[in-house]
Chain A
Amino acid sequence: SSGDDKTADPGSTSSEGSSGGDAISVGFSQVGAESGWRAANTKSIQDTLTKDAGFDLKFSDAQQKQENQIQAIRSYIAQGVQYIAFSPVVETGWDAVLQEAKAANIPVILTDRAVDTADTSLYVTFIGSDFVEEGKRVGQWVSDNLGTEPINVVELQGTTGSAPAIDRKQGFEDATKDNANIKIIASQTGDFTRDGGKKVMEGFLQANPDIDVVYAHNDDMGLGAIEAIEAAGKKPGVDIKIVTIDGVKDGMTALADGKINYIVECNPLLGPDLAKIIKTLHDGGTVEPRIVTQDGAFDQEQAKAALPDRQY
């Protein structure tokens, strides 16, 4: 609805001036740096879209604020970059600013998180994981491997109201709802942090004497839970099983050490894929509208095998 076509020009005119040479100028707006996963994601992008690889990357960190992100995208449009990529803080509310990008003829690529819009022409493609699917895969594994007898599950949720927290909860519930053996007895938010995970787990341990499984929405909370379980004199991974999502290095190490039982990977290394997509677009090619990354899943044995080559 915004469609101010008269200002559509700066995109093409000034890009020459600002980017210099043949480098492709890309504006990337990151959510923030709230977790180890995010740091790895940022690093991957910054390390791939380098000058040497023929890119002129403009990076900005929105510090978890949608307004900063919108502001950054608008500023990229004003600066006249050739491509915009971003990981949206929220799924909703991007129509207006994406319209502006479209009006300025700047292709937009979404990474990691999707946006909720009726008009799919606003972005070229989405590349990232499917949070619901991740939750489902964890749920499935728990159901298949542990749910053979009655078990009590406690859930460490991510930040209240955030998309990954909602979807991972949803996915897990979907996958386990048919298994009568699985009972989720408590669920509380640990804010995706180790400290939060540990605090909440301490509370769970006080209130419930018979916890069998901990489902943490990310590795960090799982690692926090390990600390709490150990402090309570129990053995994580044995007395209480732990399943998590992400697969960051510390998580994988704990998995290999037998303190975590299963991790569904959520690959942060989106840089190479992003670079490939932009190159393809730049050469006039087309890409799929939705590219879901190939995420692995590891149990303890697989972790031991994979650990030496992990980059993050």
Chain B
Amino acid sequence: MSPACSYTTQEMMVSACSRLIRNNECVFIGVGIPLLAGVVASKIHAPDSVIVYEAGGIGAVSRRLPWSISDNATTDNALVATELWRALGDVQRGYIDLAVVGGAQIDRFGNLNTTVIFGPDGTYQRPASRLPGSGGSNDLASSAGRTLIVMKLEKRKFVKKLDYLTSPGYLGGRGERERAGLRGGGPEAVITDKGIFRFDPETGEMYLDELFPGVTAEEVKSLVDWDLKVAPSPKTVAPPTEKEIRVMRMVDPLGVVLGSKSKQEVQPFEEYFRTMKSCYESMVILI
């Protein structure tokens, strides 16, 4: 497990997230870093974990990195191809061990907002900034065995009070999920680009538990909008291994998740065709 000599912050997040996925788990996964983390875990330490995608693909072995929770690759060589309400119904029934989701705003109890930022005079019907909405995030946060949250650490994202609570963490504190009627276990960790946060077993409040190499607790505290608690002596997260880095770059040569290509840049079709082809070819090695 030799550490990689050079890696980006995104790669570090993918690695840290992937390591929290255990073998033999059913993992329900969202787009972006969660998705790449799931694929990396399944290629390295969790070969018998099974990835479940929201639109109905379960256990795909694809030669392409899925770009969404529903693209064709989510059912290539899959174990099951079923319906969206079935997949999320199975979460509600308790079949899913772990869900990995993202968010736009988070509060100290791990509650997430992906719906609206009101701004100074905004309302729900006319906010300053409209976000996509829950998608399946609320359903996963409500009912999955436990959840991992992946977000960049920024002061405007780690807020005292959410504009809108889209997906439940521990609501107002431990015990409140149960009182609200929720059956899922709630958030286990928040993986950021500076470190990993966990939740106090008594209060449900988020605290800094592990730091990325070279990051200090003070730096992290300055990026959080409330008085963040810190574990007595935060461990340092081990950097990505060479193998992890190799796998993720092989799987995402277009930089869809790793961000090596600009999102806006319009590629000529022929170039797109060639890149995808080389992508399949490298994925074949991994299958």
A binds B: no
A residues contacting B by CB (< 8 A) are none
